[in-house]
Structure 1
Amino acid sequence: MAEVSAEARLEAPAEKVWARLTDFTAYGEWNATHTGFPRGGPEKLELGATYTENMKLMGFPAEVLWTVDEFEAGRLLGVRGKGPMGVVVGNRYTLTPDGNATVVRIDGEFTGAAVSLMAGKLKDSATAALNESLRKLGGLVA
């Protein structure tokens, strides 16, 4: 298993950050690993919603079938997905209001036989992508 996380304080209220975070039509504007939604994002963002995302991590393209497994509107979005080579991916986005700003934390995990072969490199690449994503998200909501 490889676990990664990143956190940033964004100078915007949680409602504005949540709106941008869950706007799947503009997901690629901030998410550093996203390359497309072949069939669009989830029709309705709720527990059990599913959608397919095309991504690129460590230079490799991947298609992940996501399922929303944690959801509290405006505060928490957790997704778990199945990718290529038996890899299971999880992402958890947590928003915590901090005055007029919002602390955004992203926790990710990767499991599967293929992960153990490249865990160190995967952690470095995924952590860099999370930090880049938070930087871009912060620029869009400020």
Structure 2
Amino acid sequence: MAEVSAEARIEAPAEKVWAQLTDFASYGEWNATHTNFPNGGPAALEAGATFAENMKLMGFPAEVTWTVEELETGRVFAIRGKGPMGVIVGTRYSLAADGGATTVRIDGEFTGAAVSLMAGKLKDSATAALTESLRKLAGLVA
């Protein structure tokens, strides 16, 4: 298993950050691993909803079929999906209001046989992507 995380304080209220985070049409503007949603984002943003995403990590394209595992509007959005080569991917976004700002944390995990072969490079690449995503997200909402 490879686990990664990144956290940033964004100078915008949590409601504004949440609105951007759940605006699937604009994912390409801030999410560093996102390529596209071949069928659009989830039809309804609710636990159990599924959607497909084309991504790129470590220079390799991958399609992940996601399921929304946890949703607490304005605070938590967690998804788990199946990627290529039996890799299971989990991503959890959590928001905490901090005055007029918001602390945003992204936690990710990768499990599967293929992960053990490249765990170090995967951690470095995914951590850099999360950090870049938070920087771009902050630029959109601040």
TM-score by length of 1: 1.00
Deviations 1:29-88 (A, max 9, x none): 000000000000001100000000000000000000000001101100000000000000
User: What secondary structure does 1:53 align onto?
Assistant: strand
* Equivalent in the alignment of 2:81: 81
Q: What are the ranges of 5 or more consecutive residues in structure 2 without an aligned counterpart?
A: none
* Equivalent in the alignment of 2:21: 21
Deviations 1:102-134 (A, max 9, x none): 000000000000000000000000000000000
Instruction: Give runs of aligned pairs for residues 102-117 of structure 1, distance below 5 A.
Output: 102-117=102-117
CA shift, 1:101, in A, is 0.1
* Equivalent in the alignment of 1:130: 130
* Equivalent in the alignment of 2:37: 37
User: What secondary structure does 1:32 align onto?
Assistant: coil
**Which whole-Å CA distance do the structure 2 matches of 1:58 and 1:27 have between them?**
19
**Which whole-Å CA distance do the structure 2 matches of 1:43 and 1:113 have between them?**
32
Q: What are the ranges of 5 or more consecutive residues in structure 1 without an aligned counterpart?
A: none
* Equivalent in the alignment of 1:64: 64
**Which whole-Å CA distance do the structure 2 matches of 1:44 and 1:19 have between them?**
14
**Which whole-Å CA distance do the structure 2 matches of 1:6 and 1:30 have between them?**
14
CA shift, 1:4, in A, is 0.0
**Which whole-Å CA distance do the structure 2 matches of 1:53 and 1:12 have between them?**
27
State how many pairs are aligned.
Answer: 142
CA RMSD of aligned residues (A): 0.2
**Which whole-Å CA distance do the structure 1 matches of 2:126 and 2:47 have between them?**
25
**Which whole-Å CA distance do the structure 1 matches of 2:65 and 2:49 have between them?**
11
CA shift, 1:138, in A, is 0.2
